């Protein structure tokens, strides 16, 4: 049976209003002796506020819902863990849901509303977030065009990669992706940076001619630099190139995207554009709290974009400034915390 403020008041020998004042942080209204007694009893009995009662009283529950996809890369795991950590620093708890379908996602949103979440952060959406019509504030980072209020600047990410290759003297730069339909913003950024020099696209998914097309582009077209849309694909491409007798970066230079922790241990340490999870997590919470304080539940059509940074490995043609030394202080998912350490 759930413990109520009435039970605590009875055990402490005080009024319910005194218990309410202490549990809501209004310590100046209750003597130190009574305050300590109330808090001790609440802790011993593992008291938790009733969300339904808080909703009826129009009080904050200090709970935030987080929704993301179970099929995303490690950068989203890193992002959601950073969001949860920052919420805890603010005194808020969080609940993470990973729906497998659009229907489950809608059910999760309704559950968060029903159980009294103060707001929801959607890291990856299966539904059109503009049509959710929620009763509580939501911040969307859905990757689909027009459906995000906050996200990494993907166009800038690939402009950054192309610009870096230009500094190495590359004039012909290729673009490798699983399928072009899932990376439209990355492609736009690549095209904007390439300009009139010519675009070279190579798709991997369901492409039985991939090896032949790659050889043709390297040997006949003279393409010796490649922007790759994620680090795992870049690592697999590197292995493919090495197995085919190509040298990385001499014959084929590579830059990935994500900032996965494993890039430091690929055969040629992978240069990558790092997904800025910490800054996005911090701003997503800031944006959500702005909405909570103002009571705003509407979708903001003008998105905020967070610019990523480049982590320099050796696959782009750069050389390490110092010999690699093995070290270990903690397990990390991405390089987001390690920008500039090399």
User: Is 53 a member of any domain?
Assistant: no
Dump pLDDT digits (tens) for 146-183.
888 999 999 999 999 999 999 999 999 999 999 998 89
Instruction: Say whether both 209 and 220 belong to one domain.
Output: yes
pLDDT at residue 85, rounded to an integer: 93
User: Is 72 a member of any domain?
Assistant: yes
Contacts of 46 by beta carbon, 8 Å cutoff, 6+ apart: 3
Q: Which two tokens stand for residue 26?
A: 């209004």
User: Is 325 a member of any domain?
Assistant: yes
User: Is 242 a member of any domain?
Assistant: yes
Q: Which two tokens stand for residue 275?
A: 């997904």
Distances (CA, A) of 19 to 8, 22, 106, 266: 7, 5, 37, 58
User: Is 55 a member of any domain?
Assistant: no
pLDDT at residue 26, rounded to an integer: 66
pLDDT tier at 1, thresholds 50, 70, 90: low
Q: Which helix (H) or strand (E) holds 227?
A: strand 225-228
Instruction: Say whether both 22 and 80 belong to one domain.
Output: no
pLDDT at residue 339, rounded to an integer: 45
Q: Using the predicted structure, report yes or no on whether residue 342 has a pLDDT greater than 70.
A: no
Instruction: Say whether both 36 and 131 belong to one domain.
Output: no
Instruction: Say whether both 227 and 315 belong to one domain.
Output: yes
Dump pLDDT digits (tens) for 268-309.
999 999 999 999 999 999 999 999 999 898 888 888 999 999
CB 215 within 8 A of CB 241: no
Indicate the SS3 state at residue 25: coil
Cross-strand bridge partners of residue 174 = 200, 226
| Alpha-carbon torsion, ordered 16, 22, 27, 33, to 10 deg | 80
Dump pLDDT digits (tens) for 78-96.
899 999 999 999 899 999 9
Give the β-pairing of 200-203 and 253-258: unpaired
DSSP output for 59-119: ----EEEEE--TTS-HHHHHHHHHHHHHHHHTT-EEEEE--SSHHHHHHHHHHHHHTT-SE
Instruction: Say whether both 285 and 232 belong to one domain.
Output: no
Q: What is the pTM of this model?
A: 0.79
Instruction: Say whether both 133 and 41 belong to one domain.
Output: no
Out of 47-51, 126-130, 260-264, 318-322, which region has the weakest mean confidence (pLDDT)?
47-51
Q: Which two tokens stand for residue 181?
A: 């339909």
pLDDT tier at 6, thresholds 50, 70, 90: confident
CB 171 within 8 A of CB 196: no
Instruction: Say whether both 180 and 210 belong to one domain.
Output: yes
Q: What residue numbers bound the domain in which 35 lies?
A: 5-48
User: Is 58 a member of any domain?
Assistant: no
Instruction: Say whether both 163 and 257 belong to one domain.
Output: yes
Dump pLDDT digits (tens) for 89-136.
989 999 999 988 888 888 888 888 888 799 999 988 888 878 878 889
Instruction: Say whether both 195 and 223 belong to one domain.
Output: yes
List, edge to edge, every strand of the sheet that includes 271-274: 200-203, 173-177, 225-228, 253-258, 271-274, 309-311
Instruction: Provide the CATH number for the domain around residue 215.
Output: 3.40.50.2300
Distances (CA, A) of 51 to 54, 112, 122, 126: 5, 11, 21, 27
Dump pLDDT digits (tens) for 14-59.
888 888 777 766 666 778 788 778 878 887 777 766 555 544 445 5
Instruction: Say whether both 249 and 291 belong to one domain.
Output: no
pLDDT at residue 164, rounded to an integer: 97
User: Is 95 a member of any domain?
Assistant: yes
Q: Which two tokens stand for residue 218?
A: 């390297």
The total of structural domains in the chain comes to 3
Indicate the SS3 state at residue 327: coil
φ and ψ of 176, to 5 deg: -115, 130
pLDDT at residue 54, rounded to an integer: 47
The Cα–Cα gap between 171 and 21 comes to 68
pLDDT tier at 341, thresholds 50, 70, 90: very low
Instruction: Say whether both 78 and 122 belong to one domain.
Output: yes
User: Is 56 a member of any domain?
Assistant: no
pLDDT at residue 138, rounded to an integer: 92
The Cα–Cα gap between 260 and 275 comes to 9
Instruction: Say whether both 329 and 194 belong to one domain.
Output: yes
Dump pLDDT digits (tens) for 68-81.
888 777 788 889 99
Dump pLDDT digits (tens) for 180-223.
988 988 999 999 999 877 899 999 999 999 999 999 999 999 99
């Amino acid at each position: 049976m759930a413990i109520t403020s009435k039970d605590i008041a009875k055990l402490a020998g005080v009024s319910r209003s005194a218990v309410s004042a202490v549990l809501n942080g209004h310590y100046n209204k209750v003597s130190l002796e009574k305050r300590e007694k109330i808090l001790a009893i609440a802790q011993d009995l593992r008291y938790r506020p009733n969300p339904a009662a808080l909703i009826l009283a129009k009080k904050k529950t200090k709970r935030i819902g987080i929704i993301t996809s179970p099929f995303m890369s490690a950068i989203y795991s890193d992002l959601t863990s950073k969001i949860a950590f920052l919420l805890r620093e603010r005194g808020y708890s969080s609940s993470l849901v990973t729906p497998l379908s659009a229907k489950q996602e809608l059910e999760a949103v309704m559950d968060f509303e029903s159980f009294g979440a103060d707001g929801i952060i959607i890291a990856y959406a299966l539904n059109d977030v503009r049509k959710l019509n929620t009763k509580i504030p939501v911040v969307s980072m859905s990757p689909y065009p027009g459906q995000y209020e906050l996200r990494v600047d993907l166009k800038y990410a690939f402009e950054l990669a192309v610009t870096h290759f230009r500094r190495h003297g590359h004039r012909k730069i290729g673009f490798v992706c699983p399928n072009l339909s899932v990376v439209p913003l990355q492609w736009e950024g690549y095209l904007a940076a390439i300009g009139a020099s010519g675009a070279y696209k190579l798709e991997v998914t369901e492409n039985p001619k991939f090896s032949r097309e790659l050889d043709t582009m390297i040997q006949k077209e003279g393409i010796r630099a490649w922007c790759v849309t994620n680090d795992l694909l870049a690592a697999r491409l590197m292995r493919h190139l090495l197995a085919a007798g190509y040298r990385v970066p001499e014959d084929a230079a590579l830059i990935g995207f994500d900032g996965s922790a494993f890039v430091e241990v690929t055969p040629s340490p992978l240069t990558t554009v790092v997904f800025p999870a910490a800054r996005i997590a911090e701003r997503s919470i800031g944006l959500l709290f702005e909405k909570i304080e103002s009571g705003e539940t509407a979708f903001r059509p003008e998105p905020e974009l967070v610019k990523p940074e480049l982590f320099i490995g050796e696959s782009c043609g750069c050389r390490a400034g110092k010999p690699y030394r093995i070290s270990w202080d903690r397990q990390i998912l991405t390089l987001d915390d390690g920008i500039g350490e090399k």
